[in-house]
Each structure stands twice: as structure tokens, then as C-alpha cells.
Amino acid sequence: MSKLWQKSSTDTESEIAKKVEAFTVGNDYRLDQALVPFDLKASAVHARALHKAGVLSDDETKKLTETLSEIERVWKKGEFNISVQDEDMHTAIENYLTEKLGDLGKKIHTGRSRNDQVLTAIRLFENDALQRILPELNALSDQLVEFGKTHKHIPMPGFTHTRKAMLSSVALWAGGFAELLRMQHHASSGVEALIGRSPLGTAAGFGTSIDIDRDAEAAELCFSQPMICSTSAQLSRGWVELQFVQYLSGISAVLNRLASDIIQYTGETTPYFSLDDVVCTGSSIMPQKKNPDLAELIRGRHSLFMGYAATLQSATTNLTSGYHRDLQLTKEPVLKAVTDIEACIEAAQILISSLNVNEKEITEACTVELFAAEEAYKLVKEKNISFREAYRIVAENPENAEASDPGQKLTESTHLGSTGNPGLERV
């Protein structure tokens, strides 16, 4: 089967030609399986745009769109094959259309390029992924809020520099992560605006002489608008993807710190929480081990997101305008980032559902030094001295800080965001 760019004289059989093919195709023919339904959707819209432009008849448009729907049914069964000889889904789809419809199948490529094809499919994929990810992000945030509410009466040491600092609470701890996830959700509007512009109809980056109604194409594909300059489409490839992956990396950064805390606070030295056995593993040599592997892998996967972003940033550095084959390498980091963030969010949901508070141990850990700052505030109020003077007095004799009931102390802090009023309802 021929490639979309292939001339009749192209050598495809020599050993060198096959090695070049393997190198240039890479694993795109495998990666594209995830993008097939989006390319089919865009192809159907393009067929209708060609009909509107007078390129396709009613009957031709009907046959093409029906066959595109047939391909989707085959794909859903797992039976649509993309071979290394096809290079990518675009060629595989057009070859299917041509085998089924003859020369009519070749008309689908009128007025477009693989450049705007793949860009449109990727942007549709990104938007679809985001609409799946955001509800799960909210669900995880809700889960943390509920965890905090359930244990709102339980005090907890607060740490700075990994040393005990001030009194905190389980509710305040959980609420902090919940709020960050909410903030990340709210930030999605920025990346949605970037991926929400349609590249379809920009062809190779310079438009075509076919009078395509790009506004209608964009609306039918649920984009907010088309990318106006055809040149901006190719300039955006990799640039938009970098910001999309960086957005997902923002989620993984929060999960990384959440997992790090859970690892720390379920250990022997700070046994504030415990994990159900289902999210832990044992050791092949040490019978007593109960390892927080799920949390460790959530923590570790953040490094992958940093790598995906670095790949995208590096691949697009120093490229002049227009298409370059380097941009082919921007597809894989996006697909992997989506797969990984969905897995990480689900793993974090499982982790929180398996997290238990060791109330006795966590309360006993709220030792006298946590109340040193409160002792200074007490001196300010009782002796009418400056905080700096009170700070010095307590610092010279920290052991004199009055031991307090940690649970009672929670009720004394009432301002928004304090240990006694973490504001979970507002989160």
C-alpha cells in the first residue's frame, strides 16, 4: 500500500529503504491507535466541508462518511490495523477508504495535509482527555475534604524543615492538598483555551485554494474557533502540547507531595497514619515488611512528567517556522502523560480510601514544643509586651512552654484556615 507522499519511482524494497522507513516511522503506527477515532471524526467533518465547497457530491459525501463510521466500528473491535508500511493512521484510513470506494477514497485528502490532520486529532484527544481528568481531579479533592471532615477533631504535628513546628490537624493537612487540586482544576481554563482552537483546514501551514469553511469545521468539532493564521498551526505544534503536559505535571506535583507525606507519616518513626494491606507490598527476604509501594510509585512518576515536558521543550527549541519532522516526536510525550496522570489520580484515590488515622499515636506526638509560639502569644496578651520580647523569653526557656491538650487547642483557633477552622466547606 502506498504512503500519502510516495511517488511511483520511490524505492521501498532495498535494505536501506526499509531501515530508513523503520527509523522515520518510529512507533507512530502504534501510538496512532489512540488517535484513530479523533482522526475519523475530523475526516468526516472535512468531507462535509468539501461538499459545501463543491468538491464532493451528496452521494460521495454520504459514502465517505458512512465508510469512516465503518472504520470506527472496526477500530472499536480492535481490528483496525496500522502497519509500519502505512506509517500512520492517516495513510491506513485513506487506504481503507480507497480499497472500499476506489478513487473516491483518494478525494478525502483534498485541501488538507497530514500536518493539520495530526494536529486536529491531537487537540481533540487532549480536550477529550481533559474532560475525563478534571472530574476525577475533583473527586480526589472531595475525597480529601471528606477525610479531613471525618477526622476534624484529631490534632497533628505541623512540620517545617522536617522538624516539629506548630500544632496542626488532620483536617488542615488534608485540606491543603484538596485546595491545591481545586486550584489546579480552576487553572484548566488556560490550557483549554490553548487546545480549543481548530487547526483543521490549515493544511501544510499555508492554507489551500479550496474554499473551506473553517469556522463551520471548528464549530462542528466543538472547538471555540479556528486558528486564524495557517502558519500559527504549525508554530503551535509542540508549543501547545508542552503547556498541556506542564498542566498535567502540575497535578502530578501535588500528588508527589501528598504521596511523600503518606510515606513519611506511615513509617515507624512517625506512625500517624496506617495503610491497608491492599496498597502495600512485602519483601522477598524480610517477613515483617509492609512497604508503601503505591505511594512510592505515585511519588516517582512525577519524574516522568518532568521528562515528558523536557522532551517537548527540547524538540521545539531552535526550530524555524513551518513543519519539521522533529515535531513527530512531540506526539508520544502527550499520549504517555495522559495515560500516566489518569493512572496516578486513580492510584491516589485508592491510597486515600486505604488511609487510616492512628489517633493515639498522632495525638501523643503533639508534644510541648508545638505550643512555643502560642506561649509567646500568651505573654504578649498577659504582660503587654512586644512579640519580639515574648519570642526571646520563650526561646531562652522553651521547656517552660505550657503543655496543652492538643484537642482542646483545636477549638481555640477560629480564624479561617487555622487548625480549628480549616475551611473545608469552602474548599
**Catalytic sites, residue numbers:** 161, 283
Structural domain includes residue 420: no
Whether residue 124 sits in one domain with residue 83: no
Q: Could you give the CA distance from residue 359 to residue 153 in angstroms, rounded to a whole number?
A: 10
**134 and 67 co-located in one domain:** no
User: What pLDDT is attached to residue 287?
Assistant: 73
Which cell numbers hold the place of 18?
526499509
For a pLDDT cut of 90, what percent of the chain falls above it? 77
Average pLDDT over residues 121-141: 98
The overall pTM is greater than 0.85? yes
Query: In angstroms, rounded to a whole number, what is the distance separating the alpha carbons of residues 6 and 91?
Result: 11
The mean of the pLDDT values for the chain is 92
Which pLDDT score is estimated for 399? 66
Residue 424 lies in a domain: no
Give domain status of residue 273, yes or no: yes
227 and 83 together in one domain: no
- One domain, residues 139 and 103: no
| Whether residue 88 sits in one domain with residue 223 | no
> What is the band of 5 on the pLDDT scale with cuts at 50, 70, 90?
very low
Domain that holds residue 65: 15-110
Q: Is residue 148 part of a domain?
A: yes
Q: What is the pLDDT of residues 216-244, one digit of tens each?
A: 999 999 999 999 999 999 999 999 999 99
Residues shown for the chain:
427
Q: In this structure, what are the phi and psi dihedrals at residue 159, rounded to the nearest 5 degrees?
A: -115, 145
**Position with higher pLDDT, 356 vs 390:** 356
The answer to whether residue 418 sits within a structural domain is no
Query: pLDDT tens, 399-408?
Result: 666 667 888 8
Cell numbers representing residue 333 in the block: 510525550
143 and 283 part of one domain: yes
Over residues 277-319, the pLDDT tens digits come to 999 887 778 877 889 999 999 999 999 999 999 999 999 999 9
Instruction: Indicate whether 61 and 130 sit together in one domain.
Output: no
Residue 71 has pLDDT above 90, yes or no: yes
Q: Are strands 225-226 and 197-198 parallel, antiparallel or unpaired?
A: parallel
**Residue 163 burial (CB < 10 Å; 0-12/13-18/19+)?**
exposed
Query: 332 and 404 share a domain?
Result: no
Query: Do 192 and 48 belong together in one domain?
Result: no
Question: Is it the case that residue 9 has pLDDT exceeding 60?
Answer: no
What CATH number is given to the structural domain containing 219? 1.20.200.10
Q: b/e for 53-76, b at 16 or more Cβ within 10 A? A: eebbeeebbebbbebbeebbeebe
- Same domain assignment for residues 237 and 380: no
When divided into structural domains, the chain yields a total of 3
Is 9 inside a domain boundary?
no
173 and 188 share one domain: yes
| Last residue within a domain, chosen from 110, 143, 162 | 110
| Helix orientation angle between 114-150 and 188-195, rounded to the nearest 10 degrees | 160
Residue with cell 490549515: 202
**Domain's final residue, options 79, 110, 141:** 110
**Whole-angstrom distance, CA of residue 293 vs CA of residue 280:** 6
Q: pLDDT digits over 151-197, tens only?
A: 999 999 999 999 999 999 999 999 999 999 999 999 999 999 999 99
d(CA 304, CA 168): 32
At 75, which CATH number? 1.10.275.10
Shared domain for 257 and 177, answered yes or no, is yes
427 within some domain: no
- Whether residue 3 is contained in a domain is answered as no
Q: What digits encode the pLDDT tens for the residues 81-101?
A: 998 888 889 999 999 999 999
